[in-house]
Amino acid sequence: MSPEKSSGGLTEYIVHHLTHNTAQVSGLTFHVDSWVIALTVGLLGCFLLWSQARKATAGVPSKGQAFVEMVVEFVDTQVKDTFHGDRRFIAPLALTIFVWVFFMNAIDLLPLDLPGKAIELAAGKEAAHHTYLRMVPTADINTTFGMSITVFLLIIFYSIKAKGGWGFTKELFTAPFHAHGTFAKILLALPNLFLNLVEYLSKPVSLGMRLFGNMYAGELVFMLIAGLFASWITFVPGVIFNAGWAIFHILIILLQAFIFMVLTVVYLAMAHEHH
């Protein structure tokens, strides 16, 4: 990319950075970059936690061990305050979500053109121009909805586990509007079902859209700053604006990971409660 960008060049620059590296799998479009990067940072997070757990000592902990213990204790406290059932699965799930989403979000702090420069050095400028690689998996709606749908399936599982299959089905038709008498129950069955379906479906939609919207917007702002301040004249202001936005974006990265984790635990706690 040329450092001097016209409005048309800026549009091409942004479109290039917003295009996924795709492959066709069984007639469906598969986002290779989102999958590979999400898997890579997920394994990296597991390795970092495992390495500190393996070296953990009962004496004075190292800085790495102390930091990991602080994160684990923080997540466990959030789960303990929200979920009042058996936490042996929920607490590790919450920790996995928090660490994984944080690492995927944190990719947004890497220099925007770093992948393109690496491809350019390895395979040439022409290859870099035609190779697409979106670095932030959580800025891909497929990633966020994949996670939120998994949470939705867990909500259904815990609802059936707590209430039983018949109890869960009965609740769909008898809550939130309770009625006495057969006719009243039949009359309110469809409105109850409709409201419950809206409530259940709104959870994965809001969970996935919130994370995607925030990370997509943050990624787009980085691209706009990089495009608008890419000439030699505006290089210094561009660095300042990018640094300022990156510092502010750290808060968004942490907050979105925390929100996704907390809402997951809250939704599972709601499903686990006997109505």
Residue 70 lies in a domain: yes
Total structural domains in the chain?
1
Spell out, as residue ranges, where the chain has pLDDT lower than 50: 1-6
Residue 79 lies in a domain: yes
Q: What does the pLDDT read at residue 208?
A: 96
Q: In which domain, by residue range, is 93 found?
A: 7-272
Residue 164 lies in a domain: yes
Residue 60 lies in a domain: yes
* CA dihedral over 186, 188, 189, 190, signed as positive or negative: positive
Annotated catalytic residue, options 51, 62, 206, 231: 206
Residue 93 lies in a domain: yes
Residue 1 lies in a domain: no
Residue 2 lies in a domain: no
CA of residue 198 relative to chain centroid, distance: 22
Annotated catalytic residue, options 51, 210, 231, 242: 210
Is residue 134 flagged as an active site residue? Answer: no
Beta-strand pair 28-31/22-25: antiparallel
Q: What does the pLDDT read at residue 1?
A: 40
What percent of the chain is helix, strand and coil (3-state, nearest 5)? 75, 5, 20
- How far is residue 122's CA from residue 128's CA, in Å, rounded to a whole number? 9
Residue 252 lies in a domain: yes
Q: Which helix (H) or strand (E) holds 191?
A: helix 182-228
Q: What does the pLDDT read at residue 7?
A: 54
Q: What does the pLDDT read at residue 274?
A: 61
**Other Cβ atoms closer than 10 A to 100:** 23
CA of residue 188 relative to chain centroid, distance: 37
Annotated catalytic residue, options 148, 192, 214, 242: 214
**φ and ψ of 194, to 5 deg:** -60, -45
Global pTM reads 0.89
Q: What does the pLDDT read at residue 234?
A: 56
Encoding tokens for residue 202? 């709104």
Is residue 34 flagged as an active site residue? Answer: no
Is residue 21 flagged as an active site residue? Answer: no
Q: CB–CB of 95/75 below 8 Å?
A: yes
